[in-house]
Amino acid sequence: MPKRTDIDKVMVIGSGPIVIGQAAEFDYAGTQACRALREEGVSVVLVNSNPATIMTDTEIADRVYIEPLTIEFLESIIARERPEGLLPTLGGQTGLNTATQLAKAGILDKYDIQLLGTPLSAIARAEDRELFKQTMEEIGEPIPDSAIVTTVAAAEEFAERIGYPLIVRPAYTLGGTGGGIAGDIHSLRNTTTRGLTLSMINQVLLERCVTGWKEIEYEVMRDGADNCITVCNMENLDPMGIHTGDSIVVAPSQTLSDKEYQLLRSASLNIIRALKIEGGCNVQLALDPESMDYYVIEVNPRVSRSSALASKATGYPIARVAAKIAIGLRLDEIPNAVTQKTLACFEPALDYIVVKIPRFPFDKFVNSDRTVGTQMKATGEVMSIDRSFESGLMKALRSLEIGVYGLRLKGAELWSEMELEEKLRKATDERIFVVAEAFRRGWQIREIHEQSAIDYWFLEKIEKLIIMESRLRDLRLEDLTPDLLLEAKTMGFNDHHLGELTGLKETVIRARRKEFAIGPVYKMVDTCAAEFEAETPYFYSCYEMEDE
Amino acid sequence: MKAILALSDGTIYRGISIGVGGTTIGEVVFNTSMTGYQEILTDPSYRGQIVALTYPLIGNYGVNADDMESSQPQVSGFVVKELCDSPSNFRSAATGQDFLERHQIVGIQGIDVRALTKKIRVHGVMMSALSTEHTAAELMELVENAPSYDQIDFVRRVSCQQAYQWDRDETHRGGQWSMEFFAANRVVVLDYGVKFNILRSLRSRGCEVIVMPCTSTLEEMLRWEPTGVLLSNGPGDPSLLEYAITNIRNMIEYSQERYLPIMGICLGNQLLGTAFGGTTYKLKFGHRGANHPVKDLATGRVYITSQNHGYALADEGLPSEVEVSHINLNDHTVEGLRHKRLPIFSVQYHPEASPGPRDNSYLFDHFVQLMSAHPAS
């Protein structure tokens, strides 16, 4: 299926202002998509209300409009530009909602504009709770017991039948705004009332809470010929109960056997096929840590924050490929931009681990509630790549630029044991440091697991970092042997942090390292684990043998 | 304990021993799957090979009794970046180290597996030695004097010695099988190194499964009155297996007269192609991973496949009655054959997955449909 010839001009809706619950990822996706469309000779009209973006640079699109994203303004732009197509799936929820409104208002029909990529009916099937539930039931994919309510009374009735805790999610909102976990009738009343007000269609979903289950995501792509691939999967270190945007996330999954990996992969492909999505989609699943039971939690029928992460994590340009699919190309007609020899129709093989840590704005909003839950509070995220989880985690922590160089948070030693336990159970943005502090104080791994529900695999790794910390503490220079230094560097301790721990100067550590010729090398992110030569790769540092 | 991996081109990698101490020799290959190390370790197609996994964190979810693809690990040696010593998964029954040790597998961790992979990509697969006992110089000598992987018939070593019935019951998730599939389809599986999941895939589709040694003759097979024959996966160079090729030729001849569906997988595809008159050749570094795109030439559809093969079938020399049905999108090699008139087909990849994507299990459905479509029944 070659590129459609009836589409010469496409309008792309940007994501509007950057708000809490959304980072700059839609700018990244939108920019990629505009470039991909222009590569195919399509003229791009971009509309965004936010001028502080890359996509509104004049060289990204053929025409750039910086106007409010309301249907009135959009209609006047449409009337003037007369695009043949509209691509709404790259501007996050804002773009998608705006396109839905344009269609409902009859503007798309009036100007004979085709909605490209995923059809609106598919978007509705993914976003409308009742339709989604129906679709999942039809294809036999399990979803948690749930009910759609439009009144508080109906919410109470459901709670009486199912019990607590329940998750409350308003329909059609950004980053789960207005949602929460209700543990009793009072919080249920509060959250439902708030959710009903915030939802664009005054709907709230109540759902059995699977808090503590593994939270796994798959990024999937589908083209118009029904070819499907998964770009990658991701595992949340913070299990179900904490919004994935507020969770520490690794790619690929670490604690899933092939049976579990394939079970959830097949489910994700099943879902993208049933929803008839053309382009990218993100599937969130909850997996019971004690069985093969799983639930489909949510589907984002568009390029999302997670897909931006998956893109950078794998080297697979999801937005670019989604844009090409939208204008009729098939996955096997799109080249892999990194290898340039293979095609976009494959699944990236990673030979490294990616660690994402959310960045919270609590240094600016000092008085706000720092607990994290089902409503996203992070305003950004950092991502690191390395050969082990330990070093990836340490790298990402440093990248947060919150003044930490490792797992040590200033003031953590002042927490009382009660505070520590409370912070473990009721997660805040500082939970990773809380876990570290608990290990430092000699807590058993089982106790930490019971309080936090974080998988043992991650806890073991954090414990290893703490053990290394203690081995390094107050060390004399001559005790810092080449083997120990290399081990610490391989685990991700930087020179500054080594200085803090040993009490030696950072410059002394660096000199010692140079003396033993211990330094990082750089390896490629090439989408294929070195199986093919890469033409346009990017690099990450690690302590290995070969420098690329 | 330290360990050394020495390649025939003189490259030496120094790391830490995993599994047991000792010395082993084999062809060094890499696999890019991110999950499924237990299935890879126990896949008989890896006999004679030292397998390196490109994903750096291996052993995270331990090993268990259900993820075996044969009764024991089959690899000659195992190479990883990091073997997890404290796995976490509800099915985990032992650590990777316990498993390797119990089955006397020599392995190495802590080497730059990406550097090794690039070496193999550029120079091709090569013989290598892995040891905790010898010096690098001694290992080089061992590698030089070792018989080449391509000259050894590994199939005879991994095949069963006697026919047996696979009767482990499998429940099929989804359960959309109608009763007609439970009609007595009896499949004879020629065991060239069969993976258990091929047998499970047939069993879960209601077939009676008889596994027979690789050297079985057509007469011996017909005694079971099979409704279909499956040619399994297996290790090594297909051109060494004259006995198997002759037997398959007899099968094809027989099927001209009598309805007998035949399905080939991996080595089975190569043997079938050779029996039809085609030839095989060795790939530079093979296809081993869970992400290979394969195109069905009849429908244009692309499938993500699980692969493990070092040889490929040339697309020349096949009779006009046999067509190439699938090709690999990365390098355009032959990925499947279809007989235009007879119910015979084969694929180079692994519809049984395990490890890898399950997208191709419909090929077993197709095989069962062919058997059920027996004109006489």
A478 located within any domain = no
Task: Could you list the beta-strand ranges (E) of A345-398.
Answer: 353-359, 380-386
Q: Which domain holds residue A158?
A: 145-208
> Which residue, of B117, B151, B185, is where some domain finishes?
B151
**pLDDT band at B272, cuts 50/70/90?**
very high
- pLDDT number for residue B178: 46
The region of weakest confidence among A4-8, A75-79, A185-189, A329-333 is A4-8
Indicate whether B287 and B361 sit together in one domain: yes
SS3 call for A82 = coil
Examine the fold and report which residue of A208, A235, A259 is the final residue of a domain before the chain moves on. Answer: A208
Same-domain pairing of A109 and A171: no
Lookup: tokens for A336: 């892999």
Q: What is the pLDDT confidence band of residue B176, given thresholds at 50, 70 and 90?
A: very low
Query: pTM for this one?
Result: 0.93
Any domain includes A48 = yes
ipTM above 0.90, yes or no: yes
Same domain, residue pair A36 and A66:
yes
**Which of the listed residues B108, B132, B151 is the one where a domain comes to its end?**
B151
Q: What are the phi and psi torsion angles at B219 (to 5°)?
A: -60, -45
Is pLDDT above 50 for B261? yes
Q: Which of A406, A426, A449 is the last residue of a domain?
A: A406
* Domain shared by B145 and B161, yes or no: no
Co-location of A33 and A155 in the same domain: no
**How far is the C-alpha of B137 from the C-alpha of B142, rounded, in Å?**
9
Q: Answer whether residue B175 shows pLDDT above 50.
A: no
Q: pLDDT tier at A536 (50, 70, 90 boundaries)?
A: confident
| 3-state class (DSSP) for residue B44 | helix
- For residue A204, being part of any structural domain is answered with yes
Position A20 confidence tier, pLDDT thresholds 50, 70, 90: low
Element (H, E) at B334: strand B334-339
Residue A279 C-alpha from the chain's centroid = 17
- Nearest chain B residue to A532, by CA: B121
B:225-264 residues touching chain A, CB 8 A cutoff: none
Read off the CATH number of the domain in which A184 is found: 3.30.1490.20
Query: In chain A, which residues have their Cβ closer than 8 Å to the Cβ of B115?
Result: 544-546
Q: What is the mean pLDDT of residues B91-95?
A: 97
Which residue of chain B comes nearest to A291, CA vs CA?
B90
Decide the pairing of beta strands B280-296 and B322-328.
antiparallel
Candidates A341, A304, A385, A347; CA nearest to A533 is: A341
Question: Is A237 inside any structural domain?
Answer: yes
The helix (run of H) or strand (run of E) holding residue A425 is helix A417-425
B180 shares its domain with B316: yes
pLDDT higher at B85 or A122? B85
Residue A513 vs residues A495, A518, A540, B267: alpha-carbon distances, Å: 9, 5, 20, 51
Q: Are A418 and A520 a contacting pair, CB within 8 Å?
A: no
Report the candidate in A181, A152, A147 with the shortest Cα–Cα distance to residue A165: A181
Tell me, yes or no, whether A97 and A225 share the same domain. no
A371 lies in some domain: yes
- On the question of pLDDT at A342 being above 90, the answer is no
Range from A413-422, B171-180, B239-248 carrying the lowest mean pLDDT: B171-180
Q: What are the residues whose beta carbons fall under 8 Å from the beta carbon of B122, sequence distance 6 or more?
A: none
Choose among B144, B146, B128, B102: nearest CA to B4: B128
Nearest to B84 by CA among B67, B73, B99: B99
CB-CB contact of A388 with B57 (8 Å): yes
Q: Fill in the amino acid letter for A239.
A: P
| Shared domain check, B97 and B226 | no
Say if residue A159 is in the same domain as residue A81.
Answer: no
Domain count, chain B: 2
CATH number of the domain where residue A344 is located: 3.30.470.20
What domain range is B290 assigned to? 155-373
* Adjacency order of strands within the sheet including A294-300: A294-300, A279-287, A214-222, A228-236, A249-251, A353-359, A380-386
Work out the pLDDT band at A100, boundaries 50, 70, 90: confident
Domain boundary among B151, B182, B213: B151
Residues A365 and A243 occupy one common structural domain:
yes
Q: How far is B154 from chain A (nearest CA, A)?
A: 26
Phi, psi (degrees; rounded to nearest 5) at B289: 170, -175
CA-nearest of B111, B117, B129, B124 to B31 is: B117
> Is A317 inside a domain boundary?
yes
Q: Are residues B30 and B114 in the same domain?
A: yes
pLDDT interval class at A15 (50, 70, 90): confident
Q: What pLDDT score does A94 carry? A: 80
Q: Pick from A140, A200, A214, A139: which is nearest to A169 by CA?
A: A200
Q: What is the mean pLDDT of chain B?
A: 94
Whether residues B290 and A255 touch (CB distance < 8 A) is answered with no
**Which helix or strand (DSSP H or E) is residue B160 part of?**
none
Smallest Cα–Cα separation from A356: which of A311, A321, A319?
A: A311
**Subunit contact B60:A255, Cβ cutoff 8 A:** yes
Whether A181 and A55 map to the same domain: the answer is no
Of A193, A208, A223, the residue that ends a domain is A208
Q: Which range is least confidently modeled, A70-74, B278-282, B317-321, B372-376? A: B372-376
Residue type, B358: R
Q: What angle do CA A449, A450, A455 make, to 5 degrees?
A: 30
B118 and B241 co-located in one domain: no
Percent helix, percent strand, percent coil in chain A, to nearest 5: 40, 20, 40
CATH number at residue A101: 3.40.50.20
- Residue B131, beta-bridge partner list: B4, B23
Residue A260, CA distances (Å) to A289, B55, B173, B358 in order = 10, 17, 14, 12
Other CB atoms within a 10 A radius of the CB of residue A121 amount to: 11
Which CATH number fits the domain that encloses residue B321? 3.40.50.880
Q: Are residues B200 and B91 in the same domain?
A: no
> Does pLDDT of A423 surpass 50?
yes
Q: Which residues contact B154 (CB under 8 A, 6 or more apart)?
A: B47, B48, B193, B234, B235, B236
- Annotated catalytic residue within B27, B214, B266, B309: B266
Average pLDDT of span B149-158: 96
* Contact across the interface for B117 and A388, Cβ inside 8 Å: no
Given a cut of 70, whether residue B52 has pLDDT beyond it is yes
Beta carbon pairs, A and B, within 8 Å: 155
Position A448 in a domain = no
Do the strands A166-170 and A180-182 form a parallel or antiparallel pair, or are they unpaired?
A: antiparallel
Q: How many domains does chain A have?
A: 3
Cβ pair A429, A389 in contact under 8 A: no
In the prediction, which pLDDT does A21 show? 60
Say which residues have a Cβ less than 8 Å from residue A255's Cβ, sequence separation at least 6: A214, A235, A455, A457, B60, B61, B88, B89
DSSP classification of residue A252: S
Are A231 and A365 in the same domain?
A: yes
Give the contacts of A452 (CB within 8 A, at least 6 positions apart): A424, A425, A427, A431, A435
What's the rounded mean pLDDT across residues A425-451?
A: 95
Q: What is the DSSP string of A21-41?
A: T--THHHHHHHHHHHHHHHTT
Q: What is the pLDDT of residue A22?
A: 62
Q: Which two tokens stand for residue A304?
A: 């999302």
Residue A44, pLDDT > 90, answer yes
pLDDT at residue B127, as a whole number: 97
Q: Is the pLDDT of residue A547 over 60?
A: yes
AA identity, residue A541: S
Residues A195 and A228 in one domain: no
Tally of CA atoms within 13 A in the half-sphere of B355 that contains its CB: 23
Q: Are residues B245 and B208 in the same domain?
A: yes
Q: What is the pLDDT of residues B6-49, one digit of tens each?
A: 999 999 999 999 999 999 999 999 999 999 999 999 999 999 99
CATH of the domain at B140: 3.50.30.20
pLDDT of residue A251: 97
pLDDT tens digits for A471-486?
999 899 999 999 999 9
Closest CA to A521 of A548, A487, A493, A498: A548
pLDDT at residue A517 above 80?
A: yes
Q: Give the pair of three-digit tokens for residue A89.
A: 């799936």
Q: Chain B closest CA to A429's CA: distance in Å? A: 25
- Rounded to whole angstroms, the Cα distance separating A491 from A542 reads 9
Q: Is the pLDDT of residue B237 over 50?
A: yes
Is B173 found in the same domain as B53? no
**Which of A254, A342, A544 is closest, CB to CB, to B330?**
A342
Tokens encoding A175: 């980053």
Helix (H) or strand (E) holding A399: helix A389-399
Pair B112, B169 in one domain: no
CA proximity to A87, closest of A41, A27, A47: A47
Query: Residues A279, A400: one domain?
Result: yes
**Residues B220 and B315 both lie in one domain:** yes
Are B118 and B43 in a shared domain?
Answer: yes
Check if B350 is active-site.
yes
Report pLDDT for B375: 67
When pLDDT is cut at 50, 70 and 90, the band that residue A175 belongs to is low
Q: Is residue A41 part of a domain?
A: yes
- Asked whether B321 and B313 are in contact (CB, 8 A), the reply is no
Indicate whether A104 and A171 sit together in one domain: no
Calpha distance A224→A227 (Å, rounded): 7
CA distance B248 to A503: 73
Average pLDDT over all residues of chain A: 91
Pairing of strands B82-83, B57-58: parallel
Same domain, A334 and A394: yes
- Chain A residue numbers with beta carbons less than 8 Å from the beta carbon of B304 are 229, 346-347
Is B53:B290 a contact under the CB 8 Å cutoff? no
Residues A5-13 have a mean pLDDT of: 89
Tell me the shortest Cα–Cα distance from A367 to chain B, in angstroms.
38
Whole-Å CA distances, A395 to A357, A436, A513: 10, 16, 18
Placement of tokens 């070092």 in the chain:
B310
**A169, burial (CB in 10 Å: exposed 0-12, middle 13-18, buried 19+):** buried
Comparing CA positions, the residue from A15, A170, A30 lying closest to residue A92 is A15
Query: B196, B303, B330, B349: which to substitute to probe chain A, counting the most A Cβ within 10 Å?
Result: B330
| Secondary structure class of A519 (helix, strand, coil) | coil
Q: What residue of A is the nearest CA neighbor of B360? A: A266
Chain A interface includes B12 (CB < 8 A) = no
Q: pLDDT category, A303, cuts 50, 70, 90? A: confident
- Tell me the C-alpha distance between A362 and A379, whole Å: 10
Q: Which of A226, A332, A545 sits opposite B112 (nearest CB)?
A: A545
Cβ atoms of A111 and A78 closer than 8 Å: yes
Helix, coil or strand: residue B53 = strand
